[in-house]
Amino acid sequence: MSTTLDDSQWPLWEVFVQEKTGNPHEHAGSVHAPDAELALQAARDVYARRGPVVSLWVVESARIVATAPADAASFLEPGPEKIYRHPRFYSGPKTAKAGPKAAEKK
């Protein structure tokens, strides 16, 4: 191995933790690591030692495709007149917990 790095840090990895089976993996933060196995171990040491965690994901930050802030207006803001796109007219069964409302309540 003879890779030269511009700075002394290893590549950055984003860490996602799942606290309960069935829950979504949520972004917890990031770690530096030379490869996937050490990224998982670093993620475990930094983000999984204190709380209950059932699963960890790591993904190289460079692999994430993201929107640019400048694009936000045309890309992400929904038109206010298209209310039919928002499924707010239905009352679901009380036992159903999934969906954005359940997430908001947390």
Partner 1 sequence: MNASVETLLELADDRLVLGHRLSEWCGHAPILEEDIALSNIGLDLLGQATRLLELAGAREGRGRDADSLAFLRGPTAYRSCLLVEQPNGDFARTIVRQVLFDAAALPELERLARGDDAELAAQAELAAKETRYHARHTRDWFVRLGDGSDESHRRMQAALDALMPFTAELYAGRAEPRAELEALAAQATLELPEDPPYPASGGRRGVHSEHLDHLLSEMQCVARAHPGAQW
Contact residues toward partner 1 (CB under 8 A) are 1-2, 8-10, 31-33, 37-38, 41-42, 44-46, 49
CB of 54: closest distance to partner 1 in angstroms? 16
CB of 19: closest distance to partner 1 in angstroms? 19
Q: How far apart are CA 71 and CA 99, in angstroms?
A: 26
Nearer to partner 1, 28 or 31 (CB): 31
Q: How far apart are CA 105 and CA 97, in angstroms?
A: 10
